[in-house]
Structure 1
């Protein structure tokens, strides 16, 4: 297997090597990086390039590891027993397979995305150590042992909100997605807007990187926010020279700046630039 850039998705060489290495080693690929750098999109594109199913497990602060294996609905079984249903005689009727179970029993090798694992409780990764390492687990209610028929390709994403346990990290192949440079970002933009004028693209990228370089910015704009901003610039027919006016806020800046502190900071810098001019 060789995962490379396509006409609809640009992947850096080091990221391509990381994906291929994780698949070769049969280890989960742990991706870290700024929000908006394409961690989730990578799993989607990998599944599409291989022509296999994508199973996405979106992690929340309340998510428990057990939910990825299966859930036992004891309440429904109690209700059915009170109603005299024949279903109660087979406890398997009340076992709901989770995403890991679905991945283990898929008819072909799937891509399993465990998205934003750092949102969960600190013990969450440790609770999945055995299942991700041995690719099997036990169903206590039925006595069944679920084993992976085809070892899934596991992609795990993290936004670095919490440190992950060392024991978990040892079982993963790690890659940090660096923010794209200007040339790579230009390629990504052209995938979305192939007809964009080169002068507008060059000016927008220059302004975008200047904004990311502003000291004390709470949230730097990401790739996805750049794509949204350019869409607005094209829709409103903004000219390149409109982006270069010193001391003025950027057109459609709400696509790039996501909190009031950053807006106030940029407004202050624009005011200071007007004073100096």
Structure 2
């Protein structure tokens, strides 16, 4: 029987993803050969202490749980918007951990990012250098100079979805959201260099390295088509508007600053039951949040130091002021 919700937000890993109902007919994919999802420890960066901690302690709201499941059922990307520090990027790690989707593939977007960067990288100079080493090196094949990017890897024909985080899509060039439309809609792409190379090889199959590891996977005739559509999380700080055609193809989740109850849950998950000092800092955080953007990790830093150092009330207030500046006064990463 189908399972709802598949993602529960409890942080307890399970295999409920195998009980998703069939996709809508217009979102059914049949890529092959079928590949197993790699073990979550296959990518050392994806299981760093920071990312592992975020995945295990993420506190999902009821709205978050509902819309994550909608994206999973509909096989659609999830566009997560909200102020810095509200847990946009952490959500991808939490879902991947609970549903056992393997290492999270991460694509950090800048103003110079292109669709090509996300799909694959090809180094023609290394191939030219190999050709100069002699016929044996030159015959190694074009696939030895090519690696799939995070998006290109996520669209491989895995037997269950991979988790892909496309972080800060609002920092991209104006064309990137539109460029993503066709690939995310069709669930497939071509690698022209391999398409041309396949004309000269009887089997037409290349072994290509994937993102995050040195593992190689087969790509037939230079064409990649997914089987289980990946769980794609696109994050945005709300700094720009997106084209209607892009928004129509996404499930949109808007995160807000947590209230006092949710903050207490977050503190409890990271640092244990809030004591008197922690509650004092939570109240101060909430009173300041109305006048500007604050990130939850600022509060967690202040509570950790308050517990670790012997501070009187005046010193504690002064510490909170210094550790919780408004984000407009300086850069702050989206950690929690």
TM range (shorter): 0.7 to 0.9
Quote how far apart the aligned CAs of 1:183 are: 0.8
Please give the per-residue CA displacement for 1:201-250, whole angstroms capped at 9, x wherever unaligned. Answer: 33212211121223xx4xx22111111111122122335x4379xxxx63
What is aligned with 1:184?
A: 262
Question: Residue in 2 aligned with 1:36?
Answer: 85
Structure 1 residues 14-25: aligned runs within 5 Å? 14-25=63-74
| Structure 1 residue 41: Cα displacement | 0.7
Unaligned residue ranges in structure 1 (runs of 5+): 263-277
Q: Which residue of 1 aligns with 2:7?
A: 2
Q: Alignment RMSD, CA only?
A: 2.2
Question: CA shift at 1:40, angstroms?
Answer: 0.7
Match in the other structure for 1:147: 225
| CA shift for structure 1 position 200 | 2.1
Deviations 1:148-207 (A, max 9, x none): 13211111111122322222111100010011111111111111121431x223321221
Partner of 1:211: 288
- Which range is displaced more, 160-169 or 44-53? 160-169
Contact 2:281 2:302 in 1 (8 A): no
**How many residues get paired?**
252
With normalisation by structure 1, the TM-score equals 0.83
Distance 1:260 1:63, change over 3 A: closer
| Paired residues of 2:277 and 2:303 also in contact (CA < 8 A) | no
More helix by share: 1
- 1:242 matches 2:314: yes
Q: Distance in 1 between matches of 2:231 and 2:147?
A: 22
| Segment drifting more, 81-90 vs 178-187 | 81-90
Query: Aligned to 1:128, what secondary structure does the other structure show?
Result: helix
| Pairwise CA distance, 1:94 | 1.9
SS in 2 for 1:92: helix
CA distance in 2, matches of 1:259, 1:235: 25
Residue number in structure 2 paired with 1:225? 298
After TM superposition, the structure 1 = structure 2 runs for residues 1-277 of structure 1, keeping only pairs within 5 Å, are 1-6=6-11, 8-53=57-102, 54-89=104-139, 90-105=141-156, 106=158, 108-143=160-195, 144-197=222-275, 199-214=276-291, 217=292, 220-239=293-312, 241-242=313-314, 250-257=318-325
Contact 1:57 1:114 in 2 (8 A): yes
Q: Deviations over 1:123-162 (max 9, x none)?
A: 1111111111111001111212110132111111111223
Cα pair 1:56 1:113 within 8 Å, conserved: yes
> Does structure 2 conserve the Cα–Cα contact (< 8 Å) formed by 1:33 and 1:176?
yes
Structure 2 Cα separation of the partners of residues 178 and 258 of structure 1: 16
5+ residue gaps in structure 2?
A: 1-5, 12-55, 196-221, 331-336
Instruction: Give deviations 1:21-53, integer Å, cap 9, x for gaps.
Output: 111111000000011101111110100001121
CA 1:85/1:161 → structure 2, altered by over 3 Å: closer, same or farther? farther
Query: Residues 150 and 203 of structure 1: is their aligned pair in 2 closer, same or farther, counting only changes over 3 Å?
Result: same
User: Is the CA contact 1:203–1:243 (under 8 Å) kept in the aligned structure 2?
Assistant: no
Sort the Cα spacing of 1:261 and 1:134 in 2 relative to 1 into closer, same or farther, 3 A.
closer
